[in-house]
C-alpha cells in the first residue's frame, strides 16, 4: 500500500468513526446535526456535537446554514441541540462497535463511500448519517455487503398494511415476483402483512431464476443487531442471506415510534419508485408515500374494493395525490426511473407482465446487435456468455444485457451460467 492509499484509508476510517459517533448521539432526521456536517465535515462536526465550541468564523457559516434550513433563531436551535446531544455523548466506542459488527457480516457505510445508495441524496438535510448494512454472517471485511448495496440501485419499494387481506397478499406476490424477475431489488420494511409478502416473494422468484442481483432489502427502525419484529427473525435472517438488512440506527437501539416514522423516508428514498398495495387512511404506508412524493419519486397505488378499509388509503392517493393506478405488475415495473429519468425496466420486459400478455417468440423488430446475440445463442447445447459474445462479435457487457432482456421475454433460458434458446412456438 503506497503512502497516498494509506492516507486515504486512514481518513476514511476517521470519517466512519466520526459518523458512527454522530449517529449514536443524534436521532434520525436531526437537521441541526446535518447542518454541522455540511459546514464542517463529519470529523469536525463530531467534535462540536461532543461539546467543542466552533470558532467565530465557523459559527457564522453554521448560523447561515441553520437559517437556510428554516431556523429563525439559529443560536436557540443550536443550544437546544447541544442540550439533547449532551445526554448521549461519550457513550459509544466507535472502533469497538465497528469491529464487533464486522464479525457478524455488518458494515457501516458512510455517504463518502462509493457504495452509498445515490437515491439517499434526495433526502437533503434529512439524509442518514450513515447506514449499517448486514449480509450473510462471516462476510469478511464487508466488501460483499458493500457490493450488494451498490448492486441494489435498480430498485422498487413495496409497502402496505400490516393487517393485509388475502387480495393484498396475492397482489404483492405478483408485484414482487415480477420485480425480482425483471432484475429489480424490492425494498420494504420487514413488517407483518404486505412487507413480509414482498420480501418472501422476491426471494422465492430470485432463487428460482438464479438471479444475480440482491432480490430484497429490509429497512429496520431499530438497531441492526436486534431483529424486529421478533416473530420475523427467520424471515430477516433469510433476507440477510439473499439480500440485505439496513438501518441508520446504532446497534442496540430500540425501534421507537419516532424511528419507525423516520425509517419510512429511507424506504421511500432507497426505491426508484414506490408502490402502495393496501393502506388505511391513517397508516405508515401513507407516511412512506408522502415521503416519496416529497422527493419526487413516482408513487403507484393498487385499487381495491370500496368496501375495504384496507384500500381506502390507496384510493385517497390516486384521487388526491396523483398516484399512478397500478392495475398490473407491468404497470408497477414502468414506474422506476434512474437519475436521468429513464425507465429502468425496458418496455419489452414490462409488457410481459401486463394482463393477457404472452412471451414474445418472434425476432421481428430486433436491432442488428440483438439479432446477432440471438443467432449466436445455441438451440440445443447451452453456451457460456463469453462464447456467445465471441460468435456474435458483440462486447460481453452488451451480450449480458441483451440476454437478460431475452430471458424476460421468454426467448432464452439459462442454467448454471449457460444460455440456450427457447423452442419457437
- pLDDT digit string, tens, across residues 111-163: 999 999 999 999 999 999 999 999 886 555 577 888 899 888 899 999 999 99
> Which cell is 420 given?
440456450
| Mean pLDDT to the nearest integer, 300-316 | 93
| Mean pLDDT to the nearest integer, 165-181 | 93
| Cα 390 to chain centroid, rounded | 35
Does residue 248 carry a pLDDT above 90?
Answer: yes
Mean per-residue pLDDT over the chain, rounded: 89
pLDDT at site 404 = 78
| Mean pLDDT to the nearest integer, 253-257 | 89
- Asked if 47 and 58 count as a contact pair (C-beta separation under 8 A), the reply is no
- Strand segments, DSSP code E, in 222-363 are 244-247, 273-276, 298-301, 324-325
- Asked if 367 and 402 count as a contact pair (C-beta separation under 8 A), the reply is no
pLDDT in tens, 43-73: 999 999 998 888 888 999 999 999 999 999 9
| Mean pLDDT to the nearest integer, 335-339 | 91
- Asked if 16 and 130 count as a contact pair (C-beta separation under 8 A), the reply is yes
Which of 261, 398, 272 is CA-nearest to residue 333?
272
- What global pTM score does this model have? 0.82
Distance CA 96, CA 26 (A): 19
Does residue 358 carry a pLDDT above 70?
Answer: no
| Mean pLDDT to the nearest integer, 34-42 | 96
**Residue 193: pLDDT band by 50, 70, 90 thresholds?**
very high
Strand partners for 246 = 133, 219
Amino acid at each position: 500500500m503506497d503512502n497516498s492509499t494509506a492516507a486515504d484509508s486512514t481518513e476514511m476510517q476517521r470519517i466512519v468513526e466520526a459518523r458512527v459517533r454522530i449517529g449514536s448521539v443524534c436521532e434520525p432526521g436531526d437537521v441541526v446535526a446535518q447542518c454541522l456536517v455540511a459546514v464542517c465535515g463529519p470529523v469536525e462536526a463530531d467534535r462540536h456535537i461532543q461539546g467543542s465550541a466552533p470558532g467565530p468564523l465557523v459559527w457564522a457559516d453554521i448560523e447561515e446554514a441553520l437559517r437556510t434550513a428554516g431556523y429563525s433563531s439559529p443560536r436557540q436551535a443550536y443550544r437546544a441541540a447541544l442540550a439533547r446531544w449532551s445526554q448521549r455523548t461519550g457513550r459509544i466506542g466507535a472502533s469497538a462497535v465497528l469491529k464487533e459488527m464486522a464479525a457478524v457480516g455488518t458494515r457501516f457505510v458512510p455517504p463518502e463511500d462509493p457504495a452509498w445508495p445515490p437515491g439517499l441524496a434526495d433526502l437533503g438535510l434529512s439524509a442518514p448519517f450513515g447506514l449499517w448494512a448486514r449480509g450473510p454472517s462471516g462476510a469478511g471485511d464487508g466488501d460483499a455487503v458493500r457490493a450488494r448495496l451498490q448492486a441494489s440501485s435498480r430498485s422498487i419499494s413495496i409497502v402496505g398494511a400490516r393487517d393485509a387481506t388475502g387480495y393484498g397478499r396475492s397482489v404483492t406476490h405478483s408485484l414482487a415476483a415480477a420485480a425480482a424477475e425483471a432484475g429489480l431489488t424490492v425494498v420494504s420494511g420487514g413488517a407483518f402483512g404486505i412487507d413480509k409478502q414482498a420480501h418472501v416473494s422476491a426471494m422465492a422468484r430470485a432463487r428460482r431464476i438464479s438471479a444475480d442481483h440482491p432480490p430484497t432489502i429490509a429497512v429496520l427502525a431499530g438497531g441492526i443487531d436486534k431483529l424486529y419484529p421478533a416473530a420475523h427473525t427467520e424471515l430477516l435472517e433469510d433476507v440477510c442471506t439473499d439480500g440485505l438488512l439496513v438501518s441508520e440506527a446504532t446497534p442496540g437501539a430500540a425501534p421507537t415510534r419516532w424511528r419507525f416514522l423516520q425509517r419510512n423516508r429511507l424506504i421511500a428514498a432507497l426505491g426508484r419508485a414506490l408502490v402502495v398495495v393496501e393502506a388505511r387512511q391513517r397508516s405508515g404506508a401513507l407516511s412512506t408515500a408522502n415521503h416519496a412524493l416529497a422527493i419526487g419519486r413516482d408513487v403507484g397505488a393498487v385499487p381495491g374494493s370500496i368496501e375495504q378499509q384496507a384500500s381506502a388509503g390507496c384510493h385517497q392517493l390516486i384521487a388526491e395525490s396523483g398516484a399512478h393506478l397500478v392495475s398490473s405488475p407491468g404497470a408497477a415495473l414502468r414506474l422506476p426511473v434512474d437519475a436521468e429519468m429513464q425507465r429502468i425496466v425496458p418496455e419489452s420486459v414490462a409488457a410481459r407482465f401486463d394482463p393477457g400478455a404472452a412471451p414474445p417468440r418472434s425476432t421481428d423488430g430486433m436491432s442488428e446487435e440483438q439479432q446477432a446475440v440471438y443467432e449466436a445463442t445455441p438451440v440445443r447445447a447451452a453456451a457460456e456468455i463469453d462464447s456467445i459474445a465471441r460468435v456474435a462479435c458483440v462486447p460481453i457487457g452488451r451480450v449480458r444485457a441483451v440476454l437478460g432482456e431475452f430471458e424476460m421475454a421468454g426467448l432464452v433460458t439459462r442454467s448454471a451460467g449457460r444460455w440456450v434458446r427457447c423452442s419457437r412456438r
